[in-house]
Structure 1
Amino acid sequence: MKLLDTLHRWTGGLIGLVLALLGLSGTILLYEHLWIGLPGTGDPLRGDLATVAATTEKLMAMPGAQGVIFADDRFGLHQMRFGGQGNDGAGAYASQSGEIVTRWTSQWERPELWIFDFHHHLFAGDSGEWVIGIAGLAGLFFVISGAILWWRTRKTFQLRLWPKRMSRPSIVMHHRDLGIIAAPLLLISIVTGTMMIFRPFALVMIAPFGSPAEAAKAIEPPKYTGGALAEKPDYTAMLTAARQRFPDAEFRILSLPRKAGDPIMLRMRQQAEWLPNGRSTLWFDAATGEVLGARDALTMPGGAQAFNMAFPIHASKVGGWTWRIVMTLSGLAMTMLGSFAVWSFWFRRPKPVKRVVKKALAPT
C-alpha cells in the first residue's frame, strides 16, 4: 500500500498539471457554440438539398477552398477550410446562404480553434497526442489507485467543494474525498478521451462489442484512386447522389483531395448516429464526380459503432443539457484535483524533521 501511495503521489505531481489543463480546456469547449458569439450562430438549420447545394457551390468556388464543415442544429454557421501557399490554418465562418461572416489566416485568431488544438494535441501535433494518451492512462491509474487508497481513510470522509485550509493535510483530505465522489465521471471522461487518442487502448475497450480487428478495418477509410481534381467540380450532383444514398442524413463534412488521385470525401450523419459529424461516408472521383464507394455507419461492426460513440459521450454531443452538466462537473473536478495535486506535491511538501542528537555528558 505504501508503494501504491508513493506512485500515486509522484505521478500526480508530474502529470497532474497536464490533466488539470485538459479538464479546464475540455470544459470550455463544451460550451463553445454559446460563447463564439458571431452573427448567425443561432440560425435554424436549413438542410434541404437545394439550399445546401447552392451554398456549397458558392463557398467552394472561393480561391483556396479545401473543405467545409456544414452547419448543424447547435451551430448555425458553415466553417470553411482554406489551403495553398501561406494559408495553413486559414478558414472562415459563413452563413447558410453563403455570406462570409468572418475570416482568419491562423488558428491563433480564433480561441475555439487553438483551445481545441491544445485539448487534442497540446500544440504539438502527433507528439502531443502521445503525451495526452500517456496522461490519460495515468489518469486511469489515478482513479483506480485513489479509490483503493481512499478506502482506508473512508471513516474521515467529508464532502467539501474546497479544502478547509490551504495546508497540505487539508488539501490531501479534500483531494481524496472529492476524488472518490468524482471517480465515476472521471472514468467516463478519461476512458472515452483516451480511446480517441490511443488506438490500442480503444481496441481493448471495444472488444466486448465485437472483433477489434474487424472494427479497426471498418474504421479505416478505403483506398480509392481517381483522376485529378476538376477545375469546376459538380458539387450539386455529388450532394444529390449522396442524398439519394442516405435520404434522411445531414450533410456534415466535404473535403477535397490532399494529393492528386485521392477522392473527394463527403461525410453525412444519419439520424440514428450519435457522432455529430457522422461516419456515413461517400467518396467521389475528383475528376468526374462519379461515386467510387459509400459506407453506411449503421451497418458497421458492433465494435466500430462502440468506438464511434466515444467522442459524442466525451464531448457531450448527446444527452442534452443534463449530460453536458455531468461532463462539466467531471472537467471541473479533473481541473481541481490535478492542480491541487501539483500544488501540494511541489509547494506544500512537508518539511523534513530535523533530528536532534543529544550529546552524552562526560563523566565527572
Structure 2
Amino acid sequence: MSTEIHPSNDTRAQGTDLGRGSWTPAATPRRGPARARLRRLHRWLGVSAGALLIVTGLSGSLLVFRQEIDAALNPHLLRTEPAATRVPLQQILNGVRQQYADPAPTRVRMPRSRDATYEVWLGAAPERYVYADPYRGTLLGARRPTEFLTGWLFLLHSHLLAGAVGGQVAGVGALALVLLSVTGLVIWWPRRAPWRAWMQWRASLTVARGVGGRRLTFDVHRAVGFYASALLFVGGLTGASLAFPKAGERVASWVTLSPTARAPLAPASRAIAPMLPVDSLLLIAERAQPGGEISYLYLPSAPGQPFRVRKRLPRERHPNGKSFVSVDPITGQVLGVEDGTTAPRGARLYSLLYPLHIGEIGGAPTRLLASLTGLTLPLLAVTGLIQWWRRRRPDRVRTSGD
C-alpha cells in the first residue's frame, strides 16, 4: 500500500513504455502541496505497516471460516453423537474441576447445534479449553490456545502472539489501514471533471495485458486498491474498534448521541456459602429473559461476582448476542437483565462492528467477501513495497526486462 493508485493523465499508458519488459511511471505532474503530502503519507504508512498488514490480512482471511476449519481438523473435540437427554452441566463442571484443579473454570461456551460439545474455559485468558460431551458427561480432551491452528491464528491476528502490547500494535495497524484506504482513494481520484476524465477512469480500473513487470505491478496496485478501498476501510475501522473497545464504544455513543453508561447491577452476595447448581441458575436466567439462544455462561471467580448468562435474542446481529442476565450465584436473585435489542443506540451500533469485521452480517456471501478482502492486503502490501523499492533505485528508467 505504499504507492500511487492515481489514474493516468492521458490514456491507458501512463509512463514510458520501453519495451515489453520495461516500463517506468512518467514524472508526476505538478500537484498541490496537500496532494503531495497525502502521497508521502500513503507511501510512509504502507512501508511502515506493510509486514503487519500481510500478517493480519492472511490470518483474518482464514479466521472468517474459523469454526468450520476447527471442526474439520478436530471433530473428536467439537462433535458428538446426539442423544435423547443431556447430563446436568454441574456434573460436567465438577468433573472438569477434579481433572484440572487449576486454574478454575471461568466460562462455558454452549453448544450451537445438537451435535456440538461444551467448551469450558480455564482461567481468564483462557489458559486452556476443556471439551465435554453434553449427553454422556465425558471429558473429550483439552488444549491450550496455541496448540491448534485456529487458536494460534486468532492470537496472531488479534495480538500478534505478543499479549496486550501486541493487541495495541494490531489496533494501530488497523488505524493505519483506515488511513491507507482514504489516502489511496484520494490519490487515485481524477482531478479533471468526470466528463473529461473518462480515459483516466478506465485506465485506473483495469490492468493492462502483455506489459512488463513494472507496469503490471503499478496497475494491479492501483486497480485492486480502488476496488477494495471501501471494504478495507470498514475492516480497518472495525478492527481498531475491537482492539480498543472502550474508545470504540465511546465513539459509537458520540456518533449516535446516546448514553454510554449501562444501568448498574445490584451487588451479588459476598457471603461465604455454596454456589447454587449451575443448572438451577440457568433456569432462573431463562425465566428472567425467555427465548433466544444461550451462547456463553460466565462463572464467578471471586466473592461478590455474579453468575452471567449471555444470549442471542431474535433480531440481534452479533453471532454471540449482546443480551445478558446476571444472577446472584448464592441466593438466586436476578441482579440485572440487559436486552441487546433495546440497548442504547451507541451500544447497538458497536455490537454491529464485530459481525461486520468477520463478514457475518450478511451470511455466506459476505463471509466470502470478507475473506477475499483479507487476501487483498498482502497483494497491495507487496505491490506497494515493490514500487517503493524501485523508486529508491537510481536506475529507475531501464532498458532491459524486469
Report the TM range for the smaller structure's normalisation: 0.7 to 0.9
Residue 60 (structure 1) aligns with: 93
- Does the C-alpha gap of structure 1 residues 45 and 181 become closer, same or farther in structure 2, counting only changes over 3 Å? farther
The answer on whether the counterparts of 2:234 and 2:357 sit within 8 Å (CA) in structure 1 is yes
Q: Is the 8 A contact 2:285 2:326 kept in 1?
A: no
Q: Paired residue for 1:291, among 318, 331, 334?
A: 334
Q: Does 1:100 align with 2:147?
A: no
The equivalent residue for 1:111 is 149
Deviations 1:155-207 (A, max 9, x none): 5225349996544x532331111110111221221222222223335533554
Distance 1:74 1:128 in 2: 37
Query: Does residue 139 of the first structure (1) align with residue 200 of the second (2)?
Result: no
Q: Measure, in 2, the Cα distance between the counterparts of 1:208 and 1:172.
A: 38
Q: In structure 1, what residue type is equivalent to 2:64? A: L
Q: CA deviation at 1:245?
A: 1.8
Deviation at 1:343, TM superposition (A): 4.3
Q: 8 Å contact 2:220–2:383 — kept in the other structure?
A: no
Determine the C-alpha separation between the residues in 2 that align with 1:317 and 1:75: 22
Q: 1:336/1:303 Cα in 2 relative to 1: closer, same or farther (>3 Å)?
A: same
C-alpha deviation, 1:249, in angstroms: 1.6
Structure 1 CA distance, aligned partners of 2:330 and 2:381?
Answer: 52
Measured against aligned partners, the alpha-carbon deviations of 1:191-226 in whole angstroms (never above 9, x if no partner) come to 222222233355335544332xx1x313x9747342
Q: Partner of 2:9 in structure 1?
A: none
User: Displacement, 1:117?
Assistant: 1.6
Q: How many residues align?
A: 341
Kept after mapping to 2: 8 A contact 1:228/1:286: no
Residue 89 of structure 1: aligned partner: 127
Seen in structure 2, the aligned counterparts of structure 1 residues 223 and 131 have a Cα distance that, compared at 3 Å, is farther
Instruction: Flag structure 1 segments of 5+ consecutive residues without an equivalent.
Output: 355-364
SS at match of 1:257: coil
- The alignment status of 1:39 with 2:75, answered yes or no, reads yes
Cα distance change, pair 307–161 in 1 and its aligned pair in 2 (3 A): farther
The answer on whether the counterparts of 1:70 and 1:253 sit within 8 Å (CA) in structure 2 is yes
TM-score between the two structures when normalised by the length of structure 2: 0.75
Contiguous gaps of at least 5 residues in structure 2: 1-34, 98-103, 191-199, 397-402
CA distance, structure 2, for counterparts of residue 335 and residue 222 of structure 1: 46
CA-CA distance at 1:240 after TM superposition: 0.7
Contact 1:210 1:301 in 2 (8 A): no
Contact 2:275/2:330, CA 8 A, preserved across alignment: no
Aligned equivalent of 1:362 = none
Q: 1:295 to 1:17 in 2, by over 3 A?
A: same
Q: Which AA in structure 2 matches 1:100?
A: L
- Aligned equivalent of 2:251: 204
Partner of 2:311: 268
Query: RMSD across aligned C-alpha pairs, in angstroms?
Result: 3.1
Give the counterpart letter for 1:244 in structure 2. R
Cα distance in 1 between the residues matched to 2:212 and 2:280: 66
TM (norm. structure 1) is 0.82
Q: Does residue 300 of the first structure (1) align with residue 340 of the second (2)?
A: no
Structure-2 separation of matches of 1:339 and 1:45: 48
Point out which structure has higher relative CO (alpha carbons under 8 A, 6+ apart): 2
Distance 1:20 1:68, change over 3 A: same
CA distance in 1, matches of 2:182, 2:139: 49
Q: 2:175 aligns to what SS in structure 1? A: helix
Q: How does 1:70-85 map to 2 (within 5 A)?
A: 70-73=110-113, 76-83=116-123
Q: Cα 1:233–1:161, aligned 2, differ >3 Å: closer, same or farther?
A: farther
The match for 1:174 is 220
8 Å contact 1:267–1:278 — kept in the other structure? yes
**Conserved in 2, the CA contact under 8 Å of 1:60 and 1:66?**
no
Question: Are the aligned partners of 2:275 and 2:329 in contact in 1 as well (CA < 8 Å)?
Answer: no
**Helix, strand or coil: the match of 2:296?**
strand
